Amino acid sequence: MKGNFVYHNPTKLYFGPDSLNGLKEELKKYGPNIMLNYPA
């Protein structure tokens, strides 16, 4: 690999049957518009 670079990937993963329970509070941090990406 040539050259200098910076890779930044902040990722938070939730696992388990109750993992969606905190979604509302988590999404408030990002403002009124978000894009969710999930496999079909």
pLDDT digits (tens, 9 = 90+) for 10-24: 888 888 999 889 888
Q: Of 15, 16, 34, whose CA–CA distance to 24 is shortest?
A: 34
Q: Which two tokens stand for residue 26?
A: 């988590």
In this structure, what DSSP letter does residue 15 have?
-
Rounded distance between C-alpha atoms, residue 6 and residue 36, angstroms: 25
In this structure, what DSSP letter does residue 32 have?
S
pTM: 0.43
Using DSSP, state whether 35 is helix, strand or coil.
coil
- pLDDT at residue 33, as a whole number: 92
In this structure, what DSSP letter does residue 17 have?
T
Rounded distance between C-alpha atoms, residue 15 and residue 38, angstroms: 15
